[in-house]
Chains A and B, each alone.
Chain A
Amino acid sequence: MIRINGREINLDSLRVKVERRRARGMLRGEEWPARSLKEELLRLPELEPRSYFGVQYRLQRTLALHGARLEPPLRPAGGFLARLPGMSRLGMLAAKVRRRAVTAPNEGYVGQQEQFNSRIIAALEAVSRIYHEMLWEEEGRLSRSSSRSGRLEPLDEAAVEGLMGVVPGRMAFIGLPGTACMERLLERGRLEMGIDPDDRAVAEYQAAFLPARWQRPEELLESGWPEGAGGLVLNTADLLTWRELDGLLARAASSGRKGACLLVRVSKEGWACPPGFVRVPAHREEPRWTAEFLSRVMERHGLKAEPRQMGNAFFLMGMLPGTAAAEECGEGAEGGIQEQAEKGVAESVPEEGAAARGPRGEAPPPLSGLEGGDGEEGESG
C-alpha cells in the first residue's frame, strides 16, 4: 500500500499509467520486469503459434539483454541459415518439426494440446522466474559476468579533431571513447551521447557528469536515429554479434539523417578493436570482426566504407545514402542498394559462412584470406 498525502493510491491505475508512459517510449520497455511478462503469458487462453513466437522472441530478447539465451534460438531455420548451400534441407526439416510442434495442438488433439500448453507455460514460467531472480537479485553480478570489461584505448586529441572534421554536428558513440575525449566533445557542443553495455564504465563516465548511459548497442536505433546526432561512431564493433551488427547498420542506413555519417572503429591490424581491448563474455569467445568484413557489411546496407586514420584510431567511414557527400564518398551508394535489391539480399552478404554464424559465442567467420588473427584471444584486461 502506498499513501500520497494520506490517501491510498490505486496501484493498478498507477501501473496502467506507467505502462502508458512506457508505451510512449519514456521507459525502457525491454527491461520491464519479468513479472509483467509472466502475467501476460498467463492471460493467454491458448498459445497460438503467433503468440508462441511472440513470447519466445520477447523472452529471448529480454534474456539476451542480461547475457543469457533461450534455447532453442529464435527461428533456427529462418533467415540466412535456410539460404546456405547444403543447409536448406536442414532448415526445412527444422521448420517442419517446429511447425508440427506448434500446430499439432490446434489440430484437435485435446490431450496433446493441454500437455503442450501446460508444458510450455511451465517452461516459460520457469524461465520467467529465473529471469526474475536474475534481474532482481543478481543484477550486478550478471552485468559483470556478461561482459569482461577491458580497457578500451581512448581516442586521443587528434582523433577527436578528426572526428569533428568529418562528422557534421553532434555525434553519438556506441562504446565510450574515453573521458577526456568526451569532455572535449562536450565542451565544443559536439557530443550527443555515449552508450555502453558495461555498467561500471558507464558509472565512471556518469560520475564525471558525462552523458553516458547503459544500453545495449543494438537498442540505440530502435526508436530511430538519435535526435540531434549528425554522426554515429561505433567504437566497439566487437561487442556486437553478426545479427546485431547487421541490424544496427541496417537501421542506421534507413533512419539516419541526410548528410550524417557512420564510423566504425577498426584497428591497424584489421580487427574491429585492437586485441586486448575487446570485451568478450567471460564464458566464451565472441566473434571479432575484420576490417574487410565490416566494410562489406556496411556496403551491404549502402554505406560505402572508406578507411580513415584519425589520430590514434582507424575508422571505416560510411556516409548515409542520398546525400552529395555519400556520392562523393562512394561510387553511388544508392545504386549499390538497388543493385543489392536486384541481386537479392543473400548475395550481398560478404561471406555466407559469416552470415551463418549464429548470434553470440560462435566462432568468428573465417573470411577467405582474412583470418588475420594472431590468436590473442581473451586478453581483455
Chain B
Amino acid sequence: MARVHQICARLQFGDAVTNHVLGIHRLLRERGVESHVYANATDRAHAEDDEGERLYRRAYMRRRDDLLIYHYSVFNENRRLYLRSRNRRVLIYHNITPADYFDPWEENIAAVCRRGREELPRLAGCDLALGVSDFNRRELVEAGFPEERTAVLPVLLDEQRMSRCDGALLERLRSDPSTKLLFVGRLVPNKKIEDLLTFFARYRRVYNWRSRLLVVGSSWSGRYNRFLYATARRLGLAGSVDFPGGARGVSDEELSSYYRGADLYLSMSEHEGFCVPLVEAMYHGLPVFAYAAAAVPETMGGKGVLFYRKDWLRLGAAVEELRCDPGLRERVIEGQRRRYEELSPRRTAERLWELLGPLLEGSG
C-alpha cells in the first residue's frame, strides 16, 4: 500500500491542527499504512514526530504512488512542497482567521492571514479537498476548488488525551463553591475574549456575584493580552477571572480538569473553522453556550445553547436559567451527548477511511 505523508505548518502542543495531524498519523499506522509527518516548525513536545521536510523533498516528493495530505491553516512556505509534489494530493483546510481581526493588534499576523487567504485559490489543483466543516468546504468551493472533489472531514479527537485528569486541580476547582464559566482557546482577537469579560462582569453584577471566569488557553499577541488584562481590571474583575495558560497553554491533564470542574462553557468567538473546545466540552458533559457565528452552529449540530445576538441581559438570564434548572441542564447535556456521538473519533475515523481509501487503493 502507498505511503501517506502529512505536511503542516507547525507541530505545537495544544494546537488543534497538530492534534488532528497526529490523530490521522496514528490511525493510519494502526491500519498498517506507512505514515510520515513533516512540519515547518516544531516545539519540544513534538520533536520526535517531525521527520523533517528535507526527507520528504529528497525521498518521497517525486513518487506518484504516495499520498500527500497538506494541512492548510496558515500561510507557510511549505506550500511549495505541496505545489511541486508528484504524489496524489489531499488538502485539508482548517480555515484561516480573517486578517481584519488581527489588524488592530498584530500587523505581522494580519499580513500572514491575509496572504494565506489570497493563496488559497492557487492550491486548488488537488485530488481531494477536505474542510473540517461544511463552512470550510464552502470556502474552498468559493476559492475555486471543484465542488465534486470537496468533502467534509471533522477534526479527529483524541479521547485518550481528553480522559486524563489532574486530580489536585480538579479537587481545588470543585471545592470552590462559585459558578465557574469556562472558555478554552488561544487568546486571539477573533475569539472575542473581551466580549466574554464584558458579559461576565455584567452577569456577575446582575445575576450571580458568586461566579468565576476561567479563560484557558495560550497567549498569542502581547498587545491583545495587555488589552484583555486591562479590560479585566477596568471591569473590576481582577481576581474573579483566571487566565491559566501563559505562553504554552495548559497540559492535557489540566485542560480536562478545567472541563470537569467548570459549570458551563461559554464562547463569544466570531470566527471558527470548527472549534474543537466545543466538542471537548460536550465530551466532558459541560453545557455549552456559544455565539452562533461561522462554523459554530454546524459544530453544535443544533444542540447546546446557541445565541445569535450578544444581548448581555438575555444571555445572562439564559445562563442563570440553566444554572438554576437541573432538568434543563440535563436536557442540554443529553442533546450534546448525542451530538458528540456524531463527531466521535470512531465515526471520524470511518469517514477518513471512506475518503482516503479509494485514493490509497488507486495509488497502491
Task: Check: B111 CB closer than 8 A to any chain A CB.
Answer: no
Q: Which of B7-15, B79-87, B95-103, B310-318 contacts A (4 or more CB under 8 A)?
A: B310-318
Chain B residues closer than 8 Å to A18, beta-carbon distance? 207, 317, 320-321
Known: A203-B236, A206-B239. A6 touches B307 (CB 8 A): no
Across the interface, name the chain B residue whose C-beta is closest to A138: B234
Q: Indicate the member of A5, A17, A135 with the most B CB atoms within 10 Å.
A: A5
- Return the contact of A203 from the options B210, B238, B305, B309 (Cβ within 8 A): B238
Partner of A139, one of B236, B313, B315, B321: B236
Chain A residues with CB under 8 Å of B240's CB are 203, 206-207
Please, which residues of chain A bring their CB within 8 A of the CB of B312?
136
Q: Say whether A371 faces chain B, with CB atoms less than 8 Å apart.
A: no
When A and B form their complex, what is the total count of cross-chain residue pairs whose Cβ atoms lie within 8 Å? 106
Contacts of B122 in A (CB 8 A): none
B202 close to A (CB within 8 Å): yes
Number of interface residues of A (CB under 8 A): 39
| Per-residue interface assignment for chain B, residues 277 to 308, with 1 indicating a CB less than 8 Å from any chain A CB and 0 otherwise | 00000000000000010000000001111111
Per the bound structure, the CA–CA distance linking A32 and B312 in Å amounts to 12
B303/A21 in contact, CB under 8 A: no
When the two chains form the complex, which single residue of A15, A26, A141 contacts B314, counting CB atoms closer than 8 Å?
A15
* Least distance between A1 CB and chain B CB atoms (Å): 4
B210, closest chain A residue (CB): A213
Q: How far is the CB of A140 from chain B (nearest CB, A)?
A: 4
Q: Which single member of B202, B233, B306, B328 contacts A3 (CB below 8 Å)?
A: B306
Q: Which A84-140 residues have a C-beta within 8 angstroms of B?
A: 135-136, 139-140
Complex interface bits, A16-40 against B, C-beta within 8 A gives 1, otherwise 0: 0110010000111001110100000
- The contact size tier of chain B is 35 or more
Q: Are A203 and B209 in contact, with the CB atoms below 8 A?
A: no
Q: Is the interface of A mostly helix, strand, loop or mixed?
A: helix
In the assembled complex, the Cα of A20 lies from the Cα of B236 at a distance in Å of 28
- Do A140 and B307 have beta carbons less than 8 Å apart? no
Choice from B178, B306, B309, B318 contacting A14 with Cβ under 8 Å: B318
The yes or no answer to A44 lying at the interface (CB within 8 A) is no
B331 within 8 A of A: yes
Q: With both chains docked as a complex, state the minimum distance between the C-beta of A61 and any C-beta of chain B, in angstroms.
A: 16
How far, in Å, is A47 (CB) from chain B's closest CB?
A: 26
CB of B237 within 8 Å of the partner chain: yes
Q: Say yes or no for A244: interface residue by CB 8 A criterion.
A: no
Name A residues whose Cβ lies closer than 8 Å to a Cβ of B. Answer: 1-6, 9, 11, 14-15, 17-18, 21, 26-28, 31-33, 35, 135-136, 139-141, 143-144, 199-200, 202-207, 209, 213-215
* Chain B residues within CB distance 8 Å of chain A: 175-176, 178, 201-202, 205-210, 212, 233-240, 292, 302-309, 312-315, 317-318, 320-321, 324, 328, 331-332, 335
Q: Given contacts A33-B313, A207-B240, could you give 18 more A-B pairs where the C-beta distance is less than 8 Å?
A: A2-B306, A2-B315, A5-B305, A5-B332, A6-B302, A6-B303, A11-B314, A15-B314, A27-B206, A27-B207, A31-B206, A139-B236, A200-B236, A202-B239, A203-B236, A204-B239, A206-B240, A207-B239
Would you mind naming 17 contact pairs between A and B with Cβ atoms under 8 Å apart?
A: A1-B307, A2-B306, A3-B307, A5-B305, A11-B317, A14-B318, A15-B314, A18-B321, A21-B324, A26-B324, A27-B320, A28-B209, A140-B235, A141-B234, A202-B239, A203-B240, A206-B212
